[in-house]
Amino acid sequence: MDFHISTEHQRLMGLVDEFVSSRLLPLEQDPKSFDAHENIREDLLEELRSEVKALGLFSPQMPKDRGGLGLTPVGQALLYERMNRSIFGPVCFNCAAPDDGNMTVLSKVATEAQKKRWLDPIVRGEVRSAFAMTEPHPGGGSDPGMIRTRAEKRGDRWLVNGHKWYITGAGAASHFILIAKTGEGLRDGLTAFAFHKDDPGWQIERRIPIMGPEEHGGHCELRFEGLEIPDENRLMEVGQGLKLTQIRLGLARLTHCMRWLGLAQRCMEIASAYVAEREGFGVKLADRESVQMQLGRVAMAIESGRLLTMRAAWRLEQGGKARPDISMAKIQVADTLHLAADTAIQLCGARGYSKDTPLEWIYRYARQARLVDGASEVHQMVISRAYQSQGRSFFAWGPGED
C-alpha cells in the first residue's frame, strides 16, 4: 500500500490550489458572479476557462492526444477535490458533471470519427453535453429495465419516440447521449445514440425547478416525437446501451465523490475559522469539547470517504470495475457532504444560515447527492449482491472482484 503522491501530481495540485484560492474563492463572495440559477455567470465562466486553458489544466481527465493531461482515476481523485474547494471550481476546469462523464465515456467507446464529431468540441469547451436516460413513470429510473423511450430502425436511420426527465444541462447542451429501447432483452434491450440539439423531432418541455442551485442548462424534461438518428451516430453495438451506461456511470459516480469531498472540506474550513474566533460564555467555541466532537466527526467521515474513493479509483486503474467500491464511496460521501454542510451551518450560527458564506448553497445542493446516479438504497442493493456472491472474499485486499 503506497499513499505517496508523485511529483507531477503534487505540481498539478499546487496549480489547482493556487487558481482556486486566488481566482475563484474571491468571486464566490460577490453576488454579481452568479447567474439566475445560482451558478457562475456564463461570461465570467468563459473568462476563467481561458485562464485555466492558459495554465494547461483544462479537461485534464482526457488523454493527452485529445488535449488533456491523461489523468487516471487516482489523479482525478487528487485534483477534483481541490477544484471543488470552490463551488465554481469543476466547471472552470471542465471537470463538472455531466460533461465530465460524457467525455470519459465517449473517449472510451466512440469510434475515431465519432470522437472528432461528438467528443472533441466538448473537450475544447466549445459545446456542452447531456446524458438522457431517466424517465417518468412508468418508464425507467432506478431500474433501467423499465426504459420505454424507443428507437426503431428504418433503413440506415433510427426513429426515436419517448419521454425523459431530470436531464442535467439539457437547456444549454448541444451534444446529447440518449439511451433508448431497441429490443426486449433485460441486458441487451438498450442502445446508446448521440444526437445534436438542432436535430428535429424532439423538444424540451420544461426546465424542472429544483431545491438546489442548478448546473448550466438546468434539469429538463424532454419529449421525443420522431427524432431521426443516422446509424453512424449509434454508440457501441445495438444492444450495448446498458454496457455503455455502466462504463459511464462507474467513474462518473466516483468523480461525484471526488468533487463532493472538496465541498465537504470547504464546509469544515469555514466552520473551523468561525469557531477559532468566536467566543461565548467566556470560552472560545473551538475550545469546547462538544464543538471539537462535531468537527472531529466530520473530519473522520471525510477521511473515510476519501479512502473509499481512492481505493475504488485505484481498483479501476488495476482494470477492475470496482462496482461495490464505487457504491460504498457514493453512499458514504453523499452522507458526508450533507453532514459537513449541516454541521458547519450549526457551528457558524446565524451566519451559517445566511448567504454570506456558501454553506447554505452547499447544503441545498447536497440533498441531491443521495439521489443522482443511483439512489443510496440501490447502491446498498449493489453492495449486498456483491457480498452475497463473493462471500468472505468481498473483504479481500488487492484489485478486488467484480
Ligand X SMILES: Cc1cc2nc3c(=O)[nH]c(=O)nc-3n(C[C@H](O)[C@H](O)[C@H](O)COP(=O)(O)OP(=O)(O)OC[C@H]3O[C@@H](n4cnc5c(N)ncnc54)[C@H](O)[C@@H]3O)c2cc1C
What is the contact surface with ligand X in residues (CB under 6 A)?
98, 131-134, 141-142, 166-168, 210, 219, 368, 371-375, 377-378, 381
Instruction: Output 253 or 315, the one with its CB closest to ligand X.
Output: 253
* 313-to-60, 75, 141, 247, 325 alpha-carbon distances in Å: 16, 9, 26, 14, 9
Q: Reduced to 3 states, what is the DSSP secondary structure of residue 158?
A: strand
Regarding beta strands 175-181 and 129-132, do their DSSP bridges make them parallel or antiparallel, or are they unpaired?
Answer: parallel
For residue 134, the minimal CB distance to ligand X (Å) is: 3
CB atoms within 10 A of CB 167: 24
Q: Minimum distance from CB of 317 to ligand X (Å)?
A: 26
* Nearer of residues 308 and 372 to ligand X, judged by Cβ: 372
Q: Are 176 and 118 in contact (CB under 8 A)?
A: no
Tell me the residue number closest to ligand X, measured at CB.
141
| Cβ nearer to ligand X, comparing 252 with 267 | 252
Measured from the CB atom, the residue of 134 and 294 that comes closer to ligand X is: 134
Question: Which DSSP category does 265 fall into?
Answer: H
Measured CA distances, 78 to 5, 75, 146, 314 (Å): 9, 5, 37, 12
DSSP annotation string for 185-243: -TTTSEEEEEEETTSSSEEEEEEPP-SS---TT-EEEEEEEEEEEEGGGEESSTT-HHH
Concatenating the DSSP letter of every residue in 323-335 gives HHHHHHHHHHHHH
Q: What is the dihedral of CA 43, 39, 217, 77, to 10 degrees?
A: 100
Give me the least distance between CB of 64 and ligand X, in Å please: 28
Question: How near is the Cβ of 274 to ligand X at its closest, in Å?
Answer: 29
Nearer to ligand X, 134 or 343 (CB): 134
Work out how close the CB of 38 gets to ligand X at its nearest, in angstroms, rounded to a whole number: 13
Residue 104 vs 134, nearer CB to ligand X: 134
Q: How far is the CB of 100 from ligand X (least distance, A)?
A: 12
